[in-house]
Amino acid sequence: MFVETMTLTFALAFLTMIILLPIGILAGYYFYYSKGWLKLVFEVLVWLPLVLPPTVLGFYLLLALSPQSPLGAFLLEHFNVKLVFSFGGILLGSVIFGLPFMIQPIKSGLFALSDNLQRASFTLGRGKLYTLFKVLLPNIKPSILIACVGTFIHAVGEFGVVMMIGGNIEGKTKVASIAIVDEVEMINYSLAHQYALTLFLTSFILLFVMLYINKRFLNDRA
């Protein structure tokens, strides 16, 4: 049970990170390049998962994806897909809830760059996508690393959204954060400690490696 739950937890976190990475890069560049009120609206939507209680987001996702809702009924009828109480559902919730953790570091990294980099690339006749992937992104590797690690760690420890949309189904939606609560309620502190310690050590090691690589990168550029 422990191995199965941890495997599911890490799979959820890894897939969340992989899905959000290209989204974070494109969204970060959009915020870096664009102006106007529409940009502000998108920024508010990105930041909402940080300020809303996770159960609120999870509740509305549950309603939206329920087979009784228009969207849920459409997915079930035409694609035979039922997202509530499934791994696909908690993955979707994790992706939405992880948006600010991926986008914000990338956006901040782009804004910290000198405008001369982009101007020089445009002067040489390079397009926006070339400038993004060949000029800007190589100069914000620490920010991308922070975004990936932060997103992964956050997805590993997520509870509210996953619980609301996925429930507590063994082998399908029961991740480590939910398992800890279950074991504590059953006064099985030994197994709860295994889950908690694994999450703690995983987060500590990833943060340590991230900060070490970031420091090496900054030293190499100095």
CA distances (Å), origin 208, targets 13, 63, 204, 216, 221: 18, 39, 6, 12, 20
| pLDDT tens profile 174-202 | 999 999 999 999 999 999 999 999 999 99
Contact 71, 77 (CB under 8 A): no
Question: What mean pLDDT comes out for the span 108-128?
Answer: 86
Question: What mean pLDDT comes out for the span 84-110?
Answer: 93
pLDDT at 50: 85
Whether the predicted pLDDT of 147 surpasses 90:
yes
| pLDDT tens profile 135-146 | 899 989 889 999
Compute the residue count for the chain: 222
Here the tokens at position 206 are 């990833």
Task: For residue 220, name the pLDDT band (cuts at 50, 70, 90).
Answer: low
Q: What is the mean pLDDT of the chain?
A: 89
Q: What is the dihedral of CA 3, 155, 111, 141, to 10 degrees?
A: 10
Task: For residue 38, name the pLDDT band (cuts at 50, 70, 90).
Answer: confident
pLDDT at 156: 93
pLDDT at 221: 65
pTM for the structure as a whole: 0.91
pLDDT at 222: 57
pLDDT at 90: 94
Whether the predicted pLDDT of 149 surpasses 90:
yes
Task: For residue 112, name the pLDDT band (cuts at 50, 70, 90).
Answer: confident
| pLDDT tens profile 6-21 | 999 999 999 999 999 9
Domains assigned to the chain? 2-216 (1.10.3720.10)
